[in-house]
Amino acid sequence: MPWRDIPARCGSRQNIYDRFIRWRRDGLFERLLERLRLHLDDQRPMGSRIPFHHTNASGF
């Protein structure tokens, strides 16, 4: 989403950027993705589980 499309009710662009940087630095996104992965693993039948393979930004 381009910066100009962020609703004013979300605060200033600088505030949004600062919050994103803080969350990234604190590992929030990694924790959320791990919890989502665990939740999805619990939803699948035991025989259909495929090992999770973590990729980096380059896709490897």
Q: Which residue did the predictor score with more confidence, 48 or 4?
A: 4
pTM over 0.85: no
14 has a pLDDT exceeding 60: yes
pLDDT given at position 29: 95
Structure token pair of residue 49: 């589980």
CA distance 59 to 56: 5
Structure token pair of residue 50: 């495929």
CA distance 46 to 57: 30
- pLDDT tens figures, 32-59: 999 999 888 877 766 555 665 666 666 5
